[in-house]
Amino acid sequence: MRLLATQKRTSRGSIMILTLFILTLLLILGGGFMVLIPVEMRNAQEDREILQGGLGADAALKVALDKLYHDVPYQEIAMADPAELSGGWSYQIEDIEEIEEGVYRVTTSGLQGNRVKRRAVAVVDDGSGKFAISVTAKDTTAGQNVNSQGAWPVSVPITGDVYIQGTWYCDNTGLDLDAPNTDRPFKGFIFQTDPSGDAPRGELYEGVTPSNPTQYAAMYDYGIDAIQPYDSTKIAEEELFLKDQVNDRLLSLTFGVDNPAQALAQANGLITAGDPDNDGVLEGGFYLQGDRTVKFSYTAGSQMGRTEFGNGTDLVVLHSKKGAFPDTPETPDSMRVVAPGIDKTYRCDLEHGLVFYVDGEVPGIEGTYHGNLTVAAARGLTITGELLKSDTPRGFEPDASTDALGLIACVDAGSNDPGMSVDMASIPPDNEYFIYAYLTSLSHNDSAAKMFSRSQHPSLPAGTTLTLIGALTWAPTTAGQINTGMDYIAENWKEIIIDSNRPLGFPSGGKYIPRVRSYVDVPVGE
């Protein structure tokens, strides 16, 4: 009995010791948890603040993109003070800088009180529609494939974005999509408004349809994301190159008036200046009667440009010079007109642009031009030689150039006009032709808008190539189709490179939503 009692006391003592040990352990653990709970709460709070700060930084970026879309100058987008949100939060566009034309680095932040909780840096473009190729239908609701009569050949690389109101159609025959291609033919985005058809997202191919990111990367710098759908209903008609509007727009720019009908009725003689106030200041450009060849030339030493409009019987010569009127900064340049019975000098702004409207055909145009110029031909237009900039070396891409040339054929023509042709007889020493210009043809033929069609002109000399540094803009007719003559383009064209300096009278060809090219978080304090 004594032994049993001793065992009971020993057992009770062990239990007490174990209990005390467990209680001590729980107290220690509890104390640890009591220490950790505030830490974890603080971490959770910081995570929440970082998340909320990120939402604030994103809100600021959306504001910046919206302002860019509505053409607010980027210099005016940065915010002097943060914009308030609820709960003591705010957002701010800290800085925006242009790193290349139409491309910006935007720094944004989300703040709580006066403290920055999250900062981000994004590279965005302004969505301004700087397209190397743009194809628009008769109206913004047309959903048909406007490029149905010829697929774009990969043998003609495109550097710049492409806008297709319809379905992107490409001929990649002969290109191995499974092999790495460091020299991809399409260096930009393809925006197409009719994602229909059998291929992914609406693109069509005469060769193999790319089916995975690797195959897309063989063709496009931006891989599978290069093909971007776009809602054409978001495009305002005034932003499109619609044939029914172009003629009136160009005549308004030529005469410098909103309603050109009266000015057109009063035009007489060889040439009519766009000087509605009759004060020697060009508000527009020049209207020329009859068919006219156009020849540009430029003398670097005198910094004077010369434009000849000939027709075999009389000659109209324009002499342009920058900086001729330094006392009038709004019209700093001069344009002297010399023709039979005419010798007059006008003040003008060569960088802003002038329109030369020829009310007949332009059977030949070539040379080195000076200023921002647009030549509009009521009927057909044929390029007969190289078209070069006075401020850009031949064969080089423009860098801060102020020269630009737009050529618009068939702005007021009938159904049988030849559209635009390239017919160069002489061969340059390097067997390469260069055209620095924006080109479009607006035929009134409802079955085809003729643009570089082989049937319209002979081939270029054998072994020659043609590089366009500018843009191609097509505006199909009622049928909404294009006779592109792609066999001709593929034979001689070497490359098409966008020139961001747009000539007067050329609309954007469509405006898409500004795009975020890259986005990174920046640690606060950096």
pLDDT at 35 over 70: no
Predicted confidence (pLDDT) at residue 487 exceeds the cutoff of 60: no
Q: Please state whether beta strands 83-84 and 482-483 pair in parallel, antiparallel, or not at all (unpaired).
A: unpaired
Least confident of 50-54, 237-241, 327-331, 336-340: 237-241
Question: Are 393 and 430 within 8 A, CB to CB?
Answer: no
pLDDT for the residue numbered 330: 85
Residue with tokens 């618009």: 408
* Portion of the chain with pLDDT greater than 70, in percent: 76
What is the per-residue pLDDT across 351-365, written as a single tens digit (0 to 9) for each? 989 999 999 999 999
Share of the chain above pLDDT 90, in %: 32
pLDDT over 70 at 192, yes or no: yes
Higher-pLDDT residue of 307, 182: 307
Of the spans 54-68, 73-87, 341-355, which averages the highest pLDDT?
A: 341-355
DSSP string covering 163-188:
EESS--EEE-TT--TTS--SS-SEES
- Distance between CA atoms of 486 and 160, rounded to whole angstroms? 19
Domain segments of the chain: what residues? 2-127+514-522, 131-227, 244-453
Longest CA pairwise span in the chain (Å): 147
User: For residues 393 and 437, what is the distance between their CA atoms, to the nearest angstrom?
Assistant: 14
- 469-488 average pLDDT score: 59
User: In sequence order, what DSSP letters do the residues of 329-387 get, joined into one string?
Assistant: TTS-EEEEEEETTEEEEEEE-TTT-EEEEESS-EEEEEEEE-SEEEEEESS-EEEEEEE
> Which of 8, 68, 81, 5 is CA-nearest to residue 514?
68
> Where does the pLDDT of residue 416 fall: very low under 50, low under 70, confident under 90, or very high at 90 and above?
low
In this structure, of 21-25, 130-134, 483-487, the range with the lowest mean pLDDT score is 483-487
Instruction: Please name the residues in contact with 20: beta carbons below 8 A apart, sequence gap of 6 or more.
Output: none
Distance CA 57, CA 79 (A): 13
d(C-alpha 108, C-alpha 90), whole Å = 11
Is the pLDDT assigned to residue 3 strictly greater than 50?
Answer: no
Per-residue confidence (pLDDT) for residue 478, from 0 to 100: 42
Segment (H or E) for 466: strand 465-474
Task: For residue 324, give Cα distances in angstroms to 158, 309, 331, 348, 371.
Answer: 39, 23, 9, 9, 14
Name which of 8-12, 115-119, 257-261, 270-274 the model is least confident about: 8-12
pLDDT band, very low/low/confident/very high, at 446 (cuts 50, 70, 90): very low
* Tokens coding 387: 């078209």
117-131, 174-188, 435-449: the lowest-pLDDT one? 435-449
pLDDT tens sequence across 215-251: 999 999 989 888 887 766 666 665 666 666 788 889 9
Instruction: Give the amino acid at 333.
Output: D
Helix/strand/coil for 434: strand
Residues 296, 368 contacting (CB under 8 angstroms): yes
pLDDT band at 409 (very low <50, low <70, confident <90, very high): confident
